Amino acid sequence: MQEETLAAMPAALSPSPAEPVLRVDALTLAFGGVKALNGVGFDVQPGSITAVIGPNGAGKTSLFNTISGFYRPTAGSVQFEGADITRVAAPKRAAMGLARSFQNIALFRGMTVLDNIKLGRHAHLRTNVFDALFYLGRARREEAELRRDVEERIIDFLEIDHIRHASVAALPYGLQKRVEMARALAMQPKVLMLDEPVAGMNREETEDMARFILDVRREWGITVLMVEHDMAMVMDLSDHVVVLNFGQVIAQGTPQQVQADPEVVRAYLGAGDVGALRAKLRGTAVPA
């Protein structure tokens, strides 16, 4: 009887999937006669970790630059929380809650770790030039609130208290990548975009960064969209994987679905060894 009742329930009463926090729809980007992106489309669900993968030159960084507002697409749209932001300038997108890191570290090397992180909050500050010049009430309050958030929350979370006053230029590569993530978190993002967050890191540094990414989602409720070449990390962390090749989406789905997709095999290896690709995707040794 219960099964019959459930079967008779109208479709409208069944739970509907959540609205995507970020939607990329038919996105095309052309440089002259070359299409870096060609009709790219996918959704990013709130609270998820979505990874974009693909061979070198597939269009991953072009996609990130278009979503974050550094490039203006030739066609298609980017929607954030239901609003079309395709023509919105990059600083406004940051203020709305889209924060990103870069493939090549983009920190101010002559400044301290703390000052670099604090710069991430500039899009949210309301202090005017007069208040800042004379360090009046509003400027004092915002500075105190910013220092408290950065020092008590972000620095502690990323375990970089011991280097807060160090010059960025003096830090090893792995710590610089962590500082860049801290600056992005200071922007109070709803979606954190990470462009190759573990590129150039050793295994211990990679494991630390993977833990931070999981904790950002679990403890802070931040949605993560990342481009990454470390397949073992992608498959372990991601809820959804989007595969690009020659500027087009050739596959998307769960990590398990993507690993089994023949188009992904061809994109990475051509007519090569399927077993080698699957071993790479799983982060295991290539079979002899």
Indicate if 31 and 59 belong to the same structural domain: yes
Indicate if 181 and 43 belong to the same structural domain: no
Q: What are phi and psi of 250, to 5 degrees?
A: -105, -15
Do the bridges between strand 49-53 and strand 223-227 make them parallel or antiparallel, or are there none, so unpaired?
A: parallel
Assess if residue 8 is contained within a domain.
no
Tokens representing residue 282 in the block? 């799983």
Q: Sign of dihedral through CA atoms 132, 134, 138, 139?
A: positive
Indicate if 200 and 278 belong to the same structural domain: yes
Q: 101 pairs with which residues across the strands?
A: none
Q: What are phi and psi of 80, to 5 degrees?
A: -125, 120
Using a CB cutoff of 8 Å and minimum separation of 24, what contacts does 268-277 make?
Answer: 268/55
Residue 135 to residue 247: CA distance in whole angstroms: 49
Which one of 188, 207, 225 terminates a domain? 188
Q: What are phi and psi of 152, to 5 degrees?
A: -90, -20
Q: Would you state the pLDDT for residue 21? A: 97
Assess if residue 81 is contained within a domain.
yes
Assess if residue 12 is contained within a domain.
no
Number of domains in the chain: 2
- Residue written as tokens 């889209």? 98
Mean pLDDT of each 10-residue bin along the chain, 288 residues long: 42 57 97 92 97 93 95 96 95 91 75 84 51 50 64 85 89 89 90 92 92 94 95 93 95 92 80 58 55
Q: Would you state the pLDDT for residue 102? A: 79
Indicate if 179 and 229 belong to the same structural domain: no
SS3 226: strand
Its pTM stands at 0.80
Q: Would you state the pLDDT for residue 138? A: 59
Q: Would you state the pLDDT for residue 43? A: 97
Which residue range(s) make up the domain with 166? 106-188
Assess if residue 6 is contained within a domain.
no
Q: Would you state the pLDDT for residue 224? A: 98
Indicate if 183 and 52 belong to the same structural domain: no
CATH of the domain at 262: 3.40.50.300
- Residue written as tokens 């597939």? 58
Q: Which helix (H) or strand (E) holds 105?
A: none
